[in-house]
Amino acid sequence: MSLTRKSFLNLAGAAALAIGSGTAALAQEVTLNLHQFLPAQANVPKLVLDVWADNVEEASGGRIKVDRFPSMQLGGRPPELIDQAVDGVADVVWTVVGYTPGRFPRTEVFELPFMMTDARAMSSAYWQMFEKHMKDTEFKDVHILGTWVHGPGMIHVNKEVKTPADMAGLKIRGGSRTVNNLLEKMGSTPVGMPVPAVPEGLSKGVIDGTTIPWEVTAALKIPELVGNHTEFEGNALYTLTFVLAMNKDRYESLPADLQKVIDDNSGLEFSIFAGGTQADSDGPAREAAVANGNTIVTVSGDDLAAWQEAAQPIYDEWVADMESKGIDGQALIDEARALMDAYEG
């Protein structure tokens, strides 16, 4: 009898422990919503954001679930995404930093014309400089998970463009104030709009062309809307900067082991992966434009020198603008170049 009673008490104790553990586990289960502006089938959601979310879910043993909301399904416009992360409207957002012009000034060093040689190297430099210069300044109100750039930015337009003079009078969509400044230097009229609005802008004639990398052209059906594409040999004409940002309170409310899951799947290596994956998607998208019979101009030699010369004043203007904000812009340029040169990925 006593053995039976002892066995029962042991079983009851084990059951109570299991119930207690189960309650604790349930209390720690977390659902994060991830909000962004592109269709789910576009390259970044499919090849970068879903990979991040899947890895977090798996590494957490199912205790974290990431619900994905593409195409602004939680409401608002793309330029509002960063504030959605700040305010907790969304737990995690992916956005173009340049959609909020001037708000994150140090990031613009990576958008300067003919600055980028390689998306992985620049994404690596971006994360390192974020941690050193931006984490406690312009990004202090959010918890940043990744920082990266896309592959070489280029021009997609309804006429053949080979020289800066060919840009005169064209209405071209730009994705940041730095890119818009570049377009002005080339004699174009820059039109600011988030990338999801580009197809309608082209089809209605609101814009004559757009600046985007190859990789996103397929999702936006750009080769069907314009017949000409201008790319550049060597350093990229421009790039845009991205962040994957999390609401700070949401991150800090997680138990330490789940914070570690987030941390282990974010940061430098993730940023390099994201930028590199985006750049790797340029090739297939370019082939689609070729298959469509579109004209592709590759600017090189003397023609390239003319573009570089026209863009050069942007550097002096940007350094002066940073100085007015108490930021050493030239030091940021020098540091970014040194970090990119040192990258051995």
What confidence score (pLDDT) does residue 5 get? 35
What confidence score (pLDDT) does residue 11 get? 38
What confidence score (pLDDT) does residue 345 get? 82
pLDDT digits (tens, 9 = 90+) for 171-182: 999 999 999 999
- Is the pLDDT at 166 greater than 90, yes or no? yes
**Quick one: pLDDT band at residue 22, thresholds 50, 70, 90?**
very low
Q: Tokens 């818009």 appear where?
A: 180
Across residues 285-289, what is the average pLDDT? 95
Mean pLDDT of the residues in the chain: 92
What confidence score (pLDDT) does residue 92 get? 99
Higher pLDDT, 16 or 204: 204
Share of the chain above pLDDT 70, in %: 92
Across residues 13-40, what is the average pLDDT? 65
Across residues 232-260, what is the average pLDDT? 98
- Is the pLDDT at 8 greater than 90, yes or no? no
Across residues 20-29, what is the average pLDDT? 48
Across residues 74-91, what is the average pLDDT? 98
Across residues 107-135, what is the average pLDDT? 98
What confidence score (pLDDT) does residue 16 get? 38
Across residues 238-249, what is the average pLDDT? 98
- Is the pLDDT at 1 greater than 70, yes or no? no
- Is the pLDDT at 23 greater than 90, yes or no? no
**Quick one: pLDDT band at residue 24, thresholds 50, 70, 90?**
very low
Across residues 118-144, what is the average pLDDT? 98
Across residues 254-275, what is the average pLDDT? 98
